[in-house]
Amino acid sequence: MGKPTGFMEYDRNDTQAQKPKERIKHFNEFHQPLPTEERKCQAARCMDCGVPFCQSGIMIGGMASGCPLKNLIPEWNDLLFRGNKKEALSRLHKTNNFPEFTGRVCPAPCEASCTNGINGRPVTIKENEHDIAEYGYEAGIMKPTPPAHRTGKKIAVIGSGPAGLAAADQLNKRGHSVTVFERSDRIGGLMMYGIPNMKLEKHVIDRRVNIMKEEGVSFTTEADVGVSVKAEDLIREYDSVILACGASNPRDINVPGRQANGIYFAVDFLKAATSDLLNRGRTLTPDFKHFTISAKGKKVLVIGGGDTGNDCVGTSIRQGAENVVQLEMMPKPPITRAANNPWPEWPKVLKTDYGQEEAIFVYGEDPRSYQTTVKEFVADESGNVCKAKLVKLESKYSEEAKRMIMAEVEGSEYEIEADLILIAAGFLGTQSYVAEAFGVELDGRTNVKTEAGKYKTNVEDVFVAGDMHRGQSLVVWAIAEGREVARAVDTHLMGYSNLA
């Protein structure tokens, strides 16, 4: 512990975000790093607790408390405070293959369980991690380190999201020959096309993938396993196969009028926006016209209140939406923790994210409408959606379901104008065609079935990890599962594993 009184001497100081007025003019990341000395002060706030909950990575009340990767947070905070960023980066990489990803897009369950958060504000763990990771690249430390020896074993990883990339990185370091198959045109999975540029600029992904290529990992894009690539060929050619295809089956809103034009799944909208920026960026006009799915001049309705819904709000504003409304089925959370939501549980409190901040600036009010859902979509004579009929909800005990549910409030229906609908209602599990191609069993939630805590499927030599295994989750959980499945595959092939 570098400074025992640091948590009493220094207040939390977050990196400054560019003002909404400026950042809505572009699709780039918009936080400015703190000066080195101020970042040291933020690291000095780490208490080096006797029991550091920040790195516990346990589930409490169905939600993560602490880092699922079990990052050595007090250690690298101390090293950061002392100015030894090189060693801090080494400690960070002991548990996390991609701190430059998590330092940008992780919701930081580590901070939610920081001991400083009991009576005050937690340590800026996520931003400290980001600072250390970027130092590695700026200082030229992040260089390819190919394995000295190869084992002769070949492994196919299906899917290039964080789980697939982490598994590939670990197994390649062990000396196995790894090929990653990605059905899209770029590597990164939902990090590439599901997370907007404002949160994760795509050169950050390419930078890491290029290092992995130089270390010996092979990547094959536009390879849709189960369609253009046969599963049986991969099983025959490779010693093991890892399925890391994500939980990309979006939840639909099945109400009257759903067939109207102008209704899209959020993931399709976000993918189109990023694809246009990457592929057509040079031809887009300065005010970002001519997107494949454009919110320009539209009255946008976003259905879903999570991170994806917020990303739709921020993207719509940048594209020039006339206005944006965001629906949340659940009640508005409290400002501070409720009595039944104590530390170190994940705090169920009100969070106003970047997209909502921008909506407040542009339209003068918070876009979120709580305890509200869609009852019907209304189309015009041309079949294009033009209105949505909404209804208010209330929490009520259901005798049939034997639990509390959100039920419609009688007589609360009302209409709003909307000519672009974005459905951000989550995901239902893996897309069935990949599972069927390999013959793996699914569980009741349509995730690939394994023994509890295991990664081997019912098919010999076929393993699974990430959202395809656990359901829709966080990038940090996907990386953790990628590391775990790598250890399982390594043990399967070699009889033991020295992977961390």
Shared domain for 179 and 316, answered yes or no, is: no
Parent domain of 209: 154-248+428-494
Judge contact between 330 and 306, C-beta under 8 A: no
* Mean pLDDT of all residues belonging to the chain: 95
Shared domain for 344 and 370, answered yes or no, is: yes
Distance CA 123, CA 117 (A): 8
Judge contact between 253 and 374, C-beta under 8 A: yes
Distance CA 357, CA 160 (A): 32
Percent of the chain whose predicted confidence (pLDDT) is above 90: 91
pLDDT of res. 282: 55
The CATH number of whichever domain residue 476 belongs to comes to 3.50.50.60
Encode pLDDT of 42-91 as tens digits: 999 998 888 899 999 988 888 889 999 999 999 999 999 999 999 999 99
Percent of the chain whose predicted confidence (pLDDT) is above 70: 98
| Cα three-residue angle 177-180-183, rounded to 5 degrees | 160
Average pLDDT over every residue of 327-342: 94
Residue 165, H or E segment? helix 162-174
Shared domain for 319 and 449, answered yes or no, is: no
Q: Strand order in 462-464's β-sheet? A: 218-220, 177-181, 154-158, 240-243, 462-464
Distance CA 35, CA 123 (A): 17
Of the pLDDT bands very low, low, confident and very high (cuts 50, 70, 90), residue 362 is: very high
Shared domain for 412 and 268, answered yes or no, is: yes
Judge contact between 319 and 291, C-beta under 8 A: yes
- For 480, the token pair is 């953790």
> What 3-state class would DSSP assign to 14?
coil
Encode pLDDT of 255-283 as tens digits: 999 999 999 999 999 999 999 999 876 55
Shared domain for 380 and 417, answered yes or no, is: yes
Residue 471 lies in a domain: yes
- For 341, the token pair is 């939501």
- For 283, the token pair is 């031809």
Residue 486 clears pLDDT 70, i.e. is over it: yes
Q: Tokens 């409408």, residue?
A: 369
Judge contact between 162 and 475, C-beta under 8 A: yes
Judge contact between 319 and 355, C-beta under 8 A: no
- For 327, the token pair is 């629906």
Residue 331 clears pLDDT 60, i.e. is over it: yes
Shared domain for 236 and 322, answered yes or no, is: no
pLDDT of res. 289: 63
Shared domain for 312 and 407, answered yes or no, is: yes
Encode pLDDT of 103-148 as tens digits: 999 999 999 999 999 989 999 999 999 999 999 999 999 999 999 9
Q: How many CB atoms lie within 10 A of CB 232?
A: 10
Spatial neighbors of 261 by CB under 8 A, at least 6 apart, are 379, 382, 383, 384, 385
Calculate the alpha carbon distances from 70 to 64, 91, 141, 401 in Å: 12, 12, 23, 38
Shared domain for 271 and 374, answered yes or no, is: yes
pLDDT of res. 197: 96
Of the pLDDT bands very low, low, confident and very high (cuts 50, 70, 90), residue 288 is: low
DSSP state, 251?
P
Encode pLDDT of 152-169 as tens digits: 999 999 999 999 999 999
